[in-house]
Amino acid sequence: MRYVDLGPVLLSCNIRPRASWHWQQCSVDLVFTDPNLTNKYIQYRPVPPLTLCKAVVDHVKKSRGDDLGICGDIGCGSGQNTSFYSDYFREVVGVDVSPQQLAMARTATQHLTNVTFKEGSAEQLPFADHSVDLLTCCASVHWFDYTQFYPEVERVLKPGGVLACYSYLVGSIHYDDKVISDNFKENWYSLKPYWPASHYVLWEDYSTLPRLYEDDILISLLKEMGTDDENVPIKHSYNYFLRMWRKPASF
């Protein structure tokens, strides 16, 4: 595994079997079509730090050059991550299983002429063979069936193309009173046994995602997100992590 000096780097790379995937996928599809969740999602979902997204673009340019064609954002949800890449690619396509999420994404990005959205799944990517420079998965890859997703990645990426998977673990509450902050943290982590099985890869900063290519980079960097309340000032911080693989430049 290779490393980039953007923050603390995580070293381990093991493979964790996925259990009960079919049940998880069905429940995910139902959850993300809930209209109430869709409205809240675009309002409250954390946005990835620009430094992380820029690191992804720079990594792609090393093998694909500056003239970048297609970026596919898989599990794009309401499109917060998708829109960033419009400045760097001729075409950006967000893919998601939820029509409700995609409707929100189209509304939010209607000013971006090179951004489109398609209903589809990670296991059947809507791209031609060897046509994509970059595939991104922001807070989504842990929901996918790797046994079907990885062959699709291999099929659609150009030689030298990149798969970049990144997410955040949990939000950390920082309050002036240490006792209250500690109580927030203790109560949050007490819920860990109730998380879906697929979420356990999040607790390991994606280090246990199965390896796709030899060119394998894992980065951890901190994103500070502040919230001001006129009565109770609280800071909310997220630790983002990024895992990237570059497809070999020749077959």
∠ CA(243), CA(37), CA(219), 5° rounding? 10
- Alpha carbons 168 and 237: distance in angstroms, whole number: 10
Per-residue pLDDT reduced to its tens digit, 70-84: 999 999 999 999 999
pLDDT band per the 50, 70, 90 thresholds, residue 44:
confident
So what's the pLDDT on residue 183? 80
Six token digits for residue 204:
């390991």
Q: Is 95 helix (H, G, I), strand (E, B) or coil?
A: strand
Report the phi/psi class of residue 240: left, alpha or beta, with left for phi > 0 and alpha for psi in -120 to 50: beta
Pair 15, 208: CB distance under 8 Å: yes
Residue 186 has pLDDT above 90, yes or no: no
Instruction: Check: pTM over 0.85? Answer yes or no.
Output: no
- Alpha carbons 171 and 165: distance in angstroms, whole number: 19
Q: Which domains does the chain have, with CATH numbers?
A: 21-246 (3.40.50.150)
Per-residue pLDDT reduced to its tens digit, 104-155: 999 999 999 999 999 999 999 999 999 999 999 999 999 999 999 999 999 9
